[in-house]
Amino acid sequence: MEDDYFSIDAILAENQKIGCRFKIDIPDMGHVGGGGERDITTSNTLQLPIWMVYTVVLSDWADMIMPPAFGSKVRNALNAEPCSVRLAGLVGAGGLWYGFGRTIMEMLDEKREMSILLTNTFRKRLVEVIDQAQHFAALGPAGGVGPAGDSAQSFREGLDGTERELFVLAQEGSKRMKRWYEEGEKARR
Amino acid sequence: MSLPPVLRASVTPPELELIACQELVEIIPLIPMEKTAFIAGAYGPLRPPHRARIPIWMALNLKQKKKCHIIAPDWLSVEYLEAKIKDETTQTQFTELPFHFAEISRVLLDGATDDLQNPDKLRTLLQDLREARQAKARAGLQNLEHSSLRLSNLSAMEINEIRPFFIQAMAVLKQLHVPPK
């Protein structure tokens, strides 16, 4: 999620398309949106890849439309209960919701609001992520069913890539501790 | 780096145990020994029945050969730990404990069980203490900031346990943070 040119995460986070509403006519460029139109006309809306959006928006040829993953519907849901939103579903499988959000944030004039939304969501979900990771570490290699069925499982399935990474880290750490404590018990017997 | 990912973030519990075993502990030797030089320093002389202070690894080794009794540190007693658990559950801060208490208590409980009073009770108390402290660390997670984190009196083992994901989580928060204008 950093600015590093070679960061795989940064590249993956940009694997998204953003809707843009054009302000000007551009002849013979209709193919960038993938449609059959020959020209781009004013107030046409096209789905463009992020790398192109930078140029198009900064040159003031088009306005960016806030992607649905950060639309008002999602915002309201996040404000109500961050843990019940399935972030992975918003950006596709293996998607990086936070990374995508950060990219969008960079293009906004008013960055602060977006930053607060992302930060709060992350912080509130983090506790649940770690709790579940530790729970699964405690279960041992047999794995098994998660706590209290549906809501926890649906939360786990909805983790975005960044959170998955944290989940794995916390799980590894807990497992190591558990192994260490149990080794001692074995030695005693 | 050629280290596997699990080893990059932090040291392992056995490594911490090794470090903790450098700490000194009091013993009652059962054999005499002259002052002896080791890489870490010179220890001894051992003259039974006088007490001596030697590193834990050496004490455990002697203990294994039944050549000494280990005297448990003050904090490894039922009364002390019970008082600590009481502090731990009533205060919001972490209570002060030896930095390596988790490692030392485990190696002593494993290697010198018969020198401790009421080892089973100690084990239960240590477990309780650990859980109470874990619950606090978890609560601290909610207030995680992008720039700094203050958890006083956290022990080596606990820091090590939370280090990998706290670092990662703070890195993410740093990326998401925009300073107010």
A170 lies in some domain = yes
Q: CATH no. for residue B54?
A: 3.40.5.50
ipTM of the complex: 0.81
Instruction: Clarify whether residues B111 and B63 are in a common domain.
Output: no
Q: Tell whether A111 lies on the interface with B, counting CB pairs under 8 A.
A: yes
Instruction: Clarify whether residues A59 and A72 are in a common domain.
Output: no
Instruction: Clarify whether residues B147 and B62 are in a common domain.
Output: no
Instruction: Clarify whether residues B132 and B165 are in a common domain.
Output: yes
Q: Please determine, for residue A146, whether its predicted confidence score (pLDDT) is greater than 70.
A: no
B67 lies in some domain = yes
- pLDDT at position A145 is 53
Apex A43 CA angle, A40 and A48, nearest 5: 60
Strand ranges (E), chain A: 17-22, 45-49, 62-64
Instruction: Clarify whether residues A124 and A144 are in a common domain.
Output: yes
Instruction: Clarify whether residues A37 and A128 are in a common domain.
Output: no
B33 lies in some domain = yes
CB-CB neighbours of A41 under 10 Å:
13
By Cβ distance, the residue of A114, A122, A174 closest to B173 is A122
Question: Considering only CB atoms, which chain A residues are within 8 Å of B176?
Answer: 98, 101-102, 105, 115, 118-119, 122
Instruction: Clarify whether residues A49 and A123 are in a common domain.
Output: no
Question: Considering only CB atoms, which chain A residues are within 8 Å of B9?
Answer: 169
Yes or no, beta carbons of A122 and B162 under 8 Å apart: no
For residues A52 and B125, which has the higher predicted lDDT (pLDDT)?
B125
CA distance B23 to B155: 14
Inter-residue contact A107 to A48 (CB < 8 Å): no
Closest to A54 measured CA to CA, from A12, A14, A26: A14
**pTM metric for this prediction:** 0.81
Q: Which of A80-84, B51-55, B100-104, B146-150 has the lowest mean pLDDT?
A: B146-150
Instruction: Clarify whether residues B90 and B164 are in a common domain.
Output: yes
Q: Among A102, A136, A181, which would you mutate to test the B interface (most chain B Cβ atoms within 10 Å of its Cβ)?
A: A181
For A75, A105, A148, B75, B110, the CA distances from A66, given in Å and listed in that order, are 12, 10, 36, 59, 60
| Mean pLDDT across B115-134 | 90
Domain range for residue A30?
A: 17-66
Per-residue confidence band for B149, with pLDDT thresholds at 50, 70 and 90: confident
CB-CB neighbours of B8 under 10 Å:
9
Q: Please determine, for residue B91, whether its predicted confidence score (pLDDT) is greater than 70.
A: yes
Yes or no, beta carbons of B169 and A176 under 8 Å apart: no
Q: Please determine, for residue A10, whether its predicted confidence score (pLDDT) is greater than 80.
A: no
- pLDDT at position A2 is 60
Instruction: Clarify whether residues B63 and B81 are in a common domain.
Output: no
- Average pLDDT of chain B is 88
Q: Which of A90-104, B31-45, B115-129 has the lowest mean pLDDT?
A: A90-104
Yes or no, beta carbons of A126 and B169 under 8 Å apart: yes
Domain count, chain B: 2
By Cβ distance, the residue of B157, B165, B180 closest to A130 is B165
Closest to B46 measured CA to CA, from B61, B67, B65, B64: B67
CA distance B172 to A160: 13
Per-residue confidence band for A89, with pLDDT thresholds at 50, 70 and 90: confident
Helices (DSSP H) in chain B: which residue ranges? 5-9, 13-20, 56-64, 78-90, 101-111, 119-142, 156-176
- pLDDT at position B1 is 56
- pLDDT at position A142 is 54
DSSP letters spanning A125-163: HHHHHHHHHHHHHHH-TT----TTTHHHHHHHHT--HHH
CA distance B28 to B37: 19
B9 lies in some domain = no
Instruction: Clarify whether residues A86 and A172 are in a common domain.
Output: yes
CA distance B101 to B78: 14
A174 lies in some domain = yes
Per-residue confidence band for B105, with pLDDT thresholds at 50, 70 and 90: very high
By CA distance, what is A101's nearest residue in B?
B176
- pLDDT at position B24 is 92
CA distance B94 to B137: 9
CA-based max dimension of chain B: 71
| Mean pLDDT across B76-81 | 92
- pLDDT at position A28 is 80
Domain range for residue B91?
A: 74-176
For residues B5 and B112, which has the higher predicted lDDT (pLDDT)?
B112
For residues B9 and B112, which has the higher predicted lDDT (pLDDT)?
B112
Q: CATH no. for residue B125?
A: 1.20.58.1020
